Amino acid sequence: MIDHSVLRPESTEEDVKKACGLAVELGLAAVVVNPAHIPVVAASLKGSAAKACSVISFPFGVSTTEGKVAEAKSVLSQGAEEIDMVMNFSALRSGKESYVLNDIRSVTDLAKGQAKKVVVKVILETCYLNEKEKKQACLLAVEGGADFVKTSTGFGSGGATIEDVRLMKQAVGPKVGVKAAGGIRTTQEAVRMVEAGASRIGTSSSLAILKDMT
């Protein structure tokens, strides 16, 4: 259930390779990196159950739709199997729901056109949204064909909360997953997120979380 994140801009290729080794050793769901590191991840995880995942329009979400599609095409051609795209939360907060829907759908349509299943997670960045906007964002993500909604980038003013995970799960229903990410560093925090409705956990503290469980 854990997506291991290596998203700091100062991360080296060696950091990424170590993360991939950890993912294989611990049986993690995915390694999440910035687009330039996808070739390294795809090569390192080849033959394993862990997936190569790239963020798109990270961390602000305000790339153009065309830019998001181009970035998604690039990472998919280099071996990405999952995509965590940042929703244009500026557009949502500006009342441009149709723009947000098209933005999401443009990436999910591309993903659906691939030969193999590509999971798309939409990052809402909940710390900048009120309750109504969070619900709207979830509904737009579902309508746009997303497989998951995700709380946070980890680079905003706040991360995942139990309340947000619970609200998001209620909004998306049983067919769409919720990924809790941002500030999750302990086993207790991870378990509480799962109990609230999360089916994926995004963290850079995977080893610490799983060590505490043994």
* Distance from C-alpha of 167 to C-alpha of 149, rounded to nearest angstrom: 11
Annotated catalytic residue within 51, 150, 164, 169: 150
| Cα 98 versus chain centre, distance | 22
Annotated catalytic residue within 68, 121, 169, 179: 179
* Closest to 25 measured CA to CA, from 9, 59, 49: 49
Which residues lie across from 180 on neighbouring strands?
Answer: 201
* Distance from C-alpha of 50 to C-alpha of 22, rounded to nearest angstrom: 10
* Closest to 145 measured CA to CA, from 118, 180, 163: 118
Per the annotation, the verdict on 150 as an active-site residue is yes
* Closest to 158 measured CA to CA, from 205, 198, 114, 124: 124
Annotated catalytic residue within 3, 68, 84, 103: 84
CA-to-CA separations, 172 to 77, 117, 163, 190, in angstroms, rounded: 30, 20, 14, 20
Per the annotation, the verdict on 103 as an active-site residue is no
Which residues lie across from 123 on neighbouring strands?
Answer: 86, 150
| Catalytic positions, written as ranges | 84, 150, 179
